[in-house]
Structure 1
């Protein structure tokens, strides 16, 4: 009788152990799936981040181009103005010289 009880107890323990191992395996599988999902999520997140960064970079580059373009135009305008001023000064100098010449001619 005692032997039978012991045998049944051992069987119960064995069954319990097997169930525990099965649960462990299942838990392992679940963990693996979770890890895989997490990896996928991370990859997706990183991809989005990278795309955002690229977009920002592109926008920055565009802005820089615009700024440079604006600066070039400004420089052109400045040069034009300088040229105009120079021309005007030259004209005035010529006029003054002419007037002085005429005055001297009249006096002399």
Structure 2
């Protein structure tokens, strides 16, 4: 329940260990991921068309 408890998440954080109650995050290749992400975004930017902006509708006033 506290920092000395090996089975709780708080205890695992204080001891610096991992287990069922404190999972490790999956490692990902940052180099491969960043290169492919840049290529994909560049391709998407080229293919998209610029849509013309629409003017806001004027409010009707009763006068």
What interval of TM-score do these two structures reach, taking the shorter chain for normalisation?
0.3 to 0.5
Higher relative contact order (CA 8 A, sep 6+): 2
| TM-score normalized with structure 1 length | 0.20
Higher helix content, 1 or 2: 1
Rg bigger for which structure? 1
| TM-score normalized with structure 2 length | 0.32
